[in-house]
Structure 1
Amino acid sequence: MADAATPPKGKTPRYMQVAGELREAILADRYADGKQFPTETALCRQYDVSRFTVREALKRLQAEGLIARKRGSGTVVQPAAARGGALHQPLSNVGELLQYARDSEVVYSERDSGSLPQHVAEQIGENTDGTWRRFRGVRRQTPDTAPIAVTDAYFHEKLGDAVDKLDLAAGTLFSQIERTAGVTIGRVTQDIQAIAADDRIAKFLEIDEGDPVLRIVRCYLDPKSSAYEISVSHHPGDRFAYAMHIDLDS
């Protein structure tokens, strides 16, 4: 097998690569409409890896809320409506972030690099020193529909040349960084605030200056609580909806 328990320095662990490919398949609905999720044995054959590697990959997807593993029933994909998790901040379940992106499309372009803008750093409340590369994308349901968000994504210099490997037309960037840089998400914080659109945001979203928008600032931190990616998204007030399902313990 091409499996390796301890990958060379700088190389993404094999279980994270497997988790990344399975995550993309789930979000693309390849296991929807009652299609059976592969067994551990089938996944070992498909990716030419050990059972340990497959189990670590599945643990990661389960922690993200994308799958459920039940004794005697195997692995099942969680329905989209069940991926939001419980109401909490900071976020520990990234399934809801992925759920938002699955039914829309965005293409990013690189803008500039330098220190994180002061107004963003103040929102984060974490150490944001260093150089950040900024990418911008406008998200739509389809190419001919009105924008539902404009996002600035910032990547820290510590990620090195992994940022150069991003597929800017592939949508969600943070799952790509996880694979290409070998970085693990330890925590995601999120700040949501209703504001009035300035002239720049209004133009991107095709709305009037002063119209209400939701600003969502997300900060992705590694297990050592070091920030490596930050996204700042603006959503038109009349084009944003968020549904959450909360199960209360009896």
Structure 2
Amino acid sequence: MGQRTASSAARAKSERATGARTPEKRAGGARARSEPLYVQVVSTLKEEILKGVHPVGTQLPSEDLLADRFSVSRHTIREALRRLRDDGLIASRQGAPTTVVRPAAGSGAYVHEIDSINDLFSFVSALQFQIDSVEVVTANAALAQQLGANVGEKWLRIEGFRFPADDKTAACWMEVFVHEDYAGVARLLAHNKGPIFELIETLYGERIVEVEQTLRTSPMPAQAAATLRTEPGETSVEVIRTFRIASGKTAEVSIAHYPADSFTFSMTLRRTR
């Protein structure tokens, strides 16, 4: 025990004298030189948690192992873990391991957990759509490929940001494309903050029975970066959803960009036999 305490004390002294060689410092970035050591540890662990490196319900390495990994003192690790607890990403109690938990509401981390199409509808409905622009566009070759449409088709394009209820921090930037057959929803947009597919169902009596969803990384669009507190071109999580009615026809395609460091996707798979 005395040897471990001496080792931690020596590590802390080394930090004060020269600064520990954390992963960020080894990269030589200006960010690493300007941020306290615990902030660098928080940033790395938070990114790993949100990317699923440490799944919900699993335990983080011990303080000693984390201190060795980041070449910092246990005091620095404790401060980093305290910040992660404040963010609602981990939970711990005296004498028990630190466990990764589902981010709490208002933590700034958006957990996308899907078990059924109804869960997807609930997730989408929980975010309010603040519309910035509406226009009718004609699909060129690039847009037609993106939407799975035909060149020359007309689509109602709706652009804006989605916000959690009672939160002024945007969750994502979104483009919604509505097939021209359902473009009449445009007249209802001024009084609607919910999902567009609900307007299609209400106004046209159609029912969305299938949603195809694709997640991929892509550069953050320049027009979205400032509001989402990122830089243009930084990695974002792009979520593309294609909404189809019973006939198989595509009624709507939505394309959303989330900051990569605040998005987690969770899906439950069950055996059917």
Q: TM-score, normalised by structure 2?
A: 0.51
1:149 and 2:172 correspond = yes
Contact 1:107 1:171 survives alignment (8 Å): no
- Structure 1 equivalent of residue 198 of structure 2: 175
Correspondence list, 1:44-63, <5 A: none
Match of 1:223 in 2: 246
C-alpha distance in 1, partners of 2:183/2:125? 27
1:96 CA drift (Å): 2.8
Match of 2:207 among 177, 184, 205: 184
Alignment RMSD (CA, Å): 2.7
Q: Specify the SS of the correspondent of 1:96.
A: helix
Structure 2 residue 163 is the aligned partner of structure 1 residue 140: yes
1:97 aligns with 2:120: yes
Rg larger in 1 or in 2?
A: 2
Over 3 Å counting, the alpha-carbon distance change for 1:134 and 1:150 in structure 2 is same
Q: Which amino acid aligns with 2:235?
A: P
Change (3 A) 1:165 1:199: closer
Asked if residue 199 in structure 1 is aligned to residue 222 in structure 2, the reply is: yes
* Distance of 1:183 and 1:229 partners within structure 2: 12
Q: CA deviation at 1:168?
A: 4.7
TM-score by length of 1: 0.55
Q: Helix, strand or coil: the match of 1:215?
A: strand
Write the distance in 2 (CA, Å) between the matches of 1:182 and 1:129: 26
CA displacement 1:187-234 (0-9 Å, x = unmatched): 322221111213223234231123210111111222222222111111
Tell me if structure 2 keeps the 8 A contact 1:105–1:140. yes
Instruction: Name the aligned partner's letter for residue 240 of structure 1.
Output: F
Name the SS of the counterpart of 1:174 in structure 2: helix
**Residue aligning to 2:261:** 238
> Which deviations, in whole Å up to 9, do the C-alpha atoms of 1:55-93 show, x marking residues without a partner?
xxxxxxxxxxxxxxxxxxxxxxxxxx9x833xxxxxxx4
- Identify which of structures 1 and 2 has the higher relative contact order when contacts are C-alpha pairs closer than 8 Å and 6+ apart: 1
| Greater percentage in helix | 2
Q: Percent identity?
A: 20
Asked whether 1:84 is paired with 2:114, we answer: yes
Question: Which stretch of the first structure deviates more once superposed, 210-219 or 193-202?
Answer: 193-202
Give structure 2 stretches of 5+ with no counterpart: 1-110
Distance 1:215 1:117 in 2: 21
Unaligned runs of 5+ in 1: 1-80, 86-92
